[in-house]
Structure 1
């Protein structure tokens, strides 16, 4: 086109930039951006939205924001594009802040605006902000929009309010497959396997054909609930009755289910017969199961495969190191530490955070940096005495160091999730539900301890770790100690 001497316009550029987005062709996209500037179309809202979308899908959020800031006459499409850029690239806080800026301009949000902002609220489990957006939806007359309500179902489920999510789901005028999927996945991530499978049966009665995402949710529910036979039946049903070929996500669920059930050889055999190439999720599930059941030999095999796929992920080395420590193989632990050091890898630091009054409070293990550290540790000591009276015995096996038992006990008591919970207890009225998020898996001892704390304080405590949600109440956890 350029060779013919034709000058692109605001219809041409969006299509070409969309092609760059589809191919993640960032270099060609930047070249076209330069052409846009030369031809004077950079301030056009259609071209600007296309540029923002292209940069966002190529992971260049800052470049997208630079384009956005240069356009002074912004319409709702442009705002939506920038909101989506933030939300889809893991910047939920920025998305919510930008939405506030948009509201100040007086522009009326669209369905796309609200769905994007609700998704951003889900990503950080920011329930108070999510409720605010829900209120905006109601005030602006969007309460009958099923796309908005489906996003709210997903948001409330991810924020720990499963009952609210189900209430909204039941009020949907038209339940599309994406709506069923959101609710089934919501139940699955909270360990409500029975409810998830019952909803799948209801979906069949409503004659809504499931898709591959539906079965990811169903198999995940079986995995979180330890339903070995049902999981196998659904895996077979998926291909036999619905002609849905298993994806790597389906295999990951099955490997996790078999591995957690102690059928490690069967899990390994399934991986060897996969119709798609196993990824890090599959091998990671196997390695995690090997640690759970103390299978060193198979764990070493899983790590070799993980290193081939993801040589820079320190978490895999740490997991095998923990497995060695678990069986008392300190030589193996030293070998893993040396390997990590030689490759310049560092262990991920455990971090837990809790949000109170629109402020996030983060804690590291044995953290003393918080202004209320003295009160937090005093509360932990108070709770520990009450827990021991109730029968709690510290389990120091999560401490993978060759040190004395009393030192191990001290290290376990300073785990980040306990600090966040203690902070929440001393800063909220009695009976207030607490939601704590952790970037790693909750250790065995903390899981036991939080059950005691929930009973002693008569609180519901929700911990969202890297694997799932744990609802602690009256000395019990929703996972049934299976995670």
Structure 2
């Protein structure tokens, strides 16, 4: 008997070590076959558990599921293993829910390690906008953690904090965090809360909690994950000086070598407008060849126009290529934005050639190219990029329509919109903005009204301030002053009327001789901005055009009393029109 027990123990150790050392599917299949042949597979529950874990590592998902289904009476370890496999490989969520239901139905008690894959399931569901599972599973899982007596397990409490944060349920996260005893909170707890606030666009709360962490738990040093989250919070509110103080913390804590920290510092300084500090951080670690770091610096230059920053973005991109670092889609979109600021067709063509070789099927990059060429006035090039997109969507169609609208190609915008409808692609508010721009520049009043009204009637889209502004401009340009004023009055019920709208109406009144309405439009302009000389001049000219010389004189006098002076236009030698720059 003792001999048999020793033999079984040796066999157990032998096969356990074999499973631990298996690195290929063929190894696993051979070991599994031997365990089945010897009957050992059912002699110890650890063998099926180890095989399921190994299947997860080797991506043999169906094999693992088949093995689990063959276990007559699966225990907690078996259920935990298959639940972990499903969560790790993002298997259909209903499988995990059915497994957990079966576990409870079979009276198999879960342990603390049963719940992390269920919490991960909720996060994955939220990532794909399946909010029903988040609310139907997340809260019940929390209740089961309490019911089965695992409330004291810090890793589960932290898992709940992460789930609530990533699923946008920060009220529940905050309530849970407040209930945690001070001694139970660790760096992960604080990180989960601070990151949750940042992810849910609550940077002020994130910063406040970080200060509380520093003040109340001085023994606990924040790690680089906390630092990154707090930096993002300061970046979102553009609090440069507070961001500098966190940079000092980075140096004090010896976190300068953490690449994630360097990336976030570079992005923070860039977004706050301190490009020299951003470049200083970048230059200290650019040799790491991390694409995200280069993206942060190139994007900072590209999004900050002036002082040759766009050229610096392009220079950095060339340097990136020269050292053999492969850019990604985000890099290219920033570079394309820089090309828009430089307004050089040669540079634009060079960037397009590069993207065509490596990113010709990237919808985001191609849409950015369309936008770039449109803003530079090269609609032929924009159309060439658009036509080669095989899988056009709302964004790419909208970019093309807006481009036509900005450049006054009304009929081409209409034809593109017709193609969009023919392809069964639903327009959005940007699509209609492009259409209304095209109608405004082309004087297409009837078509403008049709598209404006169809936003609500056909597509359920509520016109925004920009749509009203385009329509007012369209009506004013066409001399339909009364309709323009009626639309402004309608708009005032929901939005603030801008100076540009009243200005368009005033200009139309000047051209078409509507003195009273023009005077009213001017009065509304002066309520918003009394310092713009151009509007005083327009009003004065309106009166003069109607022979109301006294009113014209009073307007000029009012302009003088308010200290408003008309700037003198200067044409510099050698100045070229933007559309002539090649």
What TM-score results when the alignment is normalised by the length of structure 2?
0.55
- Post-superposition Cα deviations, 1:217-267, rounded to whole Å, max 9, x if no partner, equal 111111111111111111111011111111110000111111112121221
328 and 4 in structure 1: CA distance in 2 versus 1, 3 angstrom threshold: farther
Following superposition of structure 1 onto structure 2, how do residues 28-177 of structure 1 map, counting pairs within 5 Å?
28-41=242-255, 44-61=258-275, 63-69=277-283, 71-73=285-287, 75-91=290-306, 93-105=308-320, 106=323, 107-139=325-357, 141-177=358-394
The Cα shift of 1:185 comes to: 0.8
Q: Which residue of 1 aligns with 2:466?
A: 249
The question of whether the paired residues in 1 share the 8 Å contact of 2:443 and 2:477 is answered with yes
Distance 1:202 1:69, change over 3 A: same
Aligned to 1:448: none
Alpha-carbon separation, structure 1, partners of 2:531 and 2:277? 27
What residue number does 1:4 align with?
A: 217
Q: Distance in 2 between matches of 1:57 and 1:182?
A: 25
Matches of 1:103 and 1:463, distance apart in 2: 26
CA distance, structure 2, for counterparts of residue 306 and residue 316 of structure 1: 8
- 1:336 CA displacement: 5.6
**Cα RMSD (Å):** 3.1
Show the counterpart of 2:520: 301
* Structure with the higher fraction of residues in helix conformation: 2
Q: Deviations over 1:337-394 (max 9, x none)?
A: 66566656554554xxxxxxxxxxxxx33x4x55xxxxxxxxxxxxxxxxxxxxxxxx
Higher Cα Rg, which structure: 2
Change (3 A) 1:118 1:283: same
Aligned partner of residue 408 in structure 2, secondary structure: coil
Three-state SS of the structure 2 residue aligned to 1:114 is helix
**For this pair of structures, how many residues does the alignment match?**
361
Please say if 1:210 is aligned against 2:457: no
Matched, 1:16 2:234: no
Deviations 1:44-78 (A, max 9, x none): 44223323433444455455445445555463222
Asked if the contact 1:256–1:289 (Cα under 8 Å) also holds between the matched residues in 2, the reply is no
> Where do 5+ consecutive residues of structure 1 fail to align?
351-363, 371-418, 421-435, 438-461, 465-483
Q: How does 1:61-460 map to 2 (within 5 A)?
A: 61=275, 63-69=277-283, 71-73=285-287, 75-91=290-306, 93-105=308-320, 106=323, 107-139=325-357, 141-274=358-491, 275-320=494-539, 323=542, 347=566, 350=569, 364-365=570-571, 367=572, 369=573, 420=576, 436-437=577-578
Q: Mind listing any 5+ residue stretches in structure 2 that lack a counterpart? A: 1-212
Instruction: Confirm or deny: 8 A CA contact 2:301 2:312 kept in the other structure.
Output: no
In 2, are the aligned partners of 1:92 and 1:121 still within 8 Å (CA)?
Answer: no
Secondary structure of 2:506's counterpart equals helix
Does the Cα contact within 8 Å between 2:311 and 2:342 map onto a contact in 1?
no
Task: State the TM-score, normalizing by the size of structure 1.
Answer: 0.66
In terms of fraction of residues, the more strand-rich structure is 1
In structure 2, relative to structure 1, the CA distance for the partners of 1:288 and 1:201 (3 Å cut) is: same
